[in-house]
Chains A and B, each alone.
Chain A
Amino acid sequence: MAVFARLISSRFMRSVLRTAVPLVVVLVAVMVVGAVMAPDGRGATYRLLVNFLITVVIVVALQMFTGNSGIVSWGHAAFVGIGAYSTAWFSVPMVIKEDIFPGLPAWMMGAEWGLVPCLLVSTAIGALAAAVVGLAICRMKETAMAMSTLGLLVIAHGIYSNWEGWTRGTEGVYALPTNTTIYIACGFACLAVLLAVMFKYSRVGLRLQASREDPLSAESTGVSVVRARYFAWVASAAMSALAGSLWAQFNLAFGPAQFYYAQVFAILSMLVIGGLATVSGALVGAGITTVIFEVLRGVENEGNLFGIEVPQISGLAQMILALITLLILIFRPNGLLAWWELDGWIVKARDRFWKGGRKLAPDAGEKGGE
């Protein structure tokens, strides 16, 4: 009990709670909206909100690695894919599985598991794959790592598209059971946020951020940069695989194209728009991007913007999103939230409001250049 009290009062836990609580509140609010608007768990809004919550898990997972290490990963979509495919192997009804996954060994053929075992096994497979790949990737220089993660994406896509007996190639997979509800999605989004915040404030997280700022002086300060990167790589890949499993058990049918270029771009945009360095940024970016995408997809498919007719343009949503990302990079290169979590911004706003902006925010100093 005393240990617990000490933990709660430690600087670490205080920081974690201060940052995580506002984010969890936002996520729960999203869930409440969904649950109230669609109590039967149907409809476009419900689907949108659940997919948003799952997207949060994906973006937060990527933030854990890329945000703290400063190394871009194109490869995380591959881990989302691993989560989705392994969920399919263990959950699709046997009669269909014999048809679409003829290559599976007998013991997997029979498996028709529920939500939790599927999540566990997908996360484990994702973590294992990342642990193996990471041995090579995490030793490289930053630029080579970026290239290798891109290579990883291409390799994974090649496997998903061609490994007929296990993935059904480009035709894709179907008939997964619906297990992910808005409550489950929200629960995991909150868990992901909490873990990512804890990671950021942990010792490994701190070391990794130091290596992001200056790998060489981090090394000289005693940071094993490779080890810090490896840890984050495996953890964030495992979280991505978990998200993939959640996603598969909600969207029920998918193919290799779902884990490729367009998705990678969408996820990276979310991170860039909100700001790489913070977990809050990942969440804000996911929210903004989801809204933009929804509005523009309406335009694209129906040629209709708030009731005004506009000409139909293919790929418009993606183009606008890319343009916004580019503008953010030029005019606010660290993203909307830059270096401060939501709680930091709340404190700043409060100080400016009540103290007429005279006093510096206790958090992180306002004169810090951006």
Chain B
Amino acid sequence: MPAEQGQGPAAVVQSSETAADGTLSAREVVKHFRGVHALDGVSLTLQPGEIVGLIGPNGSGKTTLLNVLSGIYPPTSGRVWCRGRDVTTRKPHVIAHLGVGRTFQNIRLFSHLTVRQNVEVGSVSGRKVEGVDHQADVDRLLDRFSLSGSAEAQALSLPYGAQRRVEIARALAGRPLFLLLDEPAAGMNEAESDQLLETIMGVRKDFGCGVLIVDHDLRLIMRLCERIHVLAEGVTLATGTPQEVRADRQVIDVFLGDALKDDV
């Protein structure tokens, strides 16, 4: 098993054995769909409190990895561990109870429920914590994501950007220790994506959860993440700090190319 080389401020170098307790990790995960090798032996560990970027070209298996981590697809082989427990074949709600929250690439809200109800479902169904005041929590989250004004509107009536915020609020309402975000900046302009960056930084600070973020917006990823994991065709191409990944020849060749040179 390749040792993770996390070196960001919040990440501590740990062997995967001792890391097993407080982390969410995929180990040598393989996922095939009728001959399509979506994932071919990918290992990744997410610590609470760190922000990790997951990037790769279209179809490289990013969403699939998130789906395996959150229990939506059982992997063809390999294991998924969450906080010291093997959750490889557990149902998504069990994994959610252990503290994994997520959003979807194509927003999947509870369309006809109100915004408040969407967040409330997260609060009353997420990780169990003693003495939570669900109503107060929901109010706080609505406020934090500037959703109080539309709290009683049906989720599908909101504009796209607000729907993305509802989805993040719903995931956070479940008191996750790990938050998996699938392309949260998709369709956003620069200003909106800057705001998203602030939001995610704030979330890490206030909730202390580890964030695994998939996005094609490299500007965002490079500024936000302590560690980046690059996938290509279902295998890990590189992992490391933004600087390391940026410098990696393979990454530049296969994927980043011009986009990065412009940025640097």
Contact = CB atoms under 8 A, between A and B. Distances in A.
Say if the two chains contact directly (CB < 8 Å).
Answer: yes
Interface of A: 11, 203, 206-207, 209-210, 213-214, 216-225, 277, 339, 362-365, 367-369
Interface string B149-180: 01011101100000000000011001000000
Given A213-B111, A368-B157, A369-B156, A225 B93 contact: yes
14 contacts: A203-B124, A209-B110, A210-B125, A213-B110, A213-B113, A216-B108, A218-B121, A221-B122, A222-B97, A362-B152, A364-B114, A365-B114, A368-B112, A369-B157
Interface centre among A217, A218, A277, A339 (most CB of B within 10 A): A217
Interface in B186-236: none
B250 interface: no
A342 B157 CA distance: 21
Given A207-B121, A213-B111, A213-B113, A221 B152 contact: no
A225 B71 CA distance: 14
B156 A222 contact: no
A223 B95 CA distance: 11
B8 interface: no
B112 A221 contact: no
A339 B126 CA distance: 26
User: Which residue, of A11, A210, A222, A369, has the highest number of chain B Cβ atoms within 10 A?
Assistant: A222
A203 B132 CA distance: 14
A216 B117 CA distance: 17
Nearest to B118: A210
Given A203-B124, A222-B96, A365-B152, 9 more contacts: A206-B121, A217-B109, A221-B96, A221-B121, A221-B122, A221-B125, A364-B114, A365-B157, A369-B154
Contacts of B108: 214, 216-217
Contacts of A217: 104, 108-110
A207 B154 contact: no
A8 B193 CA distance: 44
B162 to A, nearest CB: 12
B60 interface: no
A224 B152 CA distance: 25
B91 interface: yes
Contacts of A365: 114, 150, 152-154, 157
Contacts of B79: none
A369 B92 CA distance: 30
Residue from the set B122, B150, B152, B156 with the largest chain A CB neighbour count within 10 Å: B152
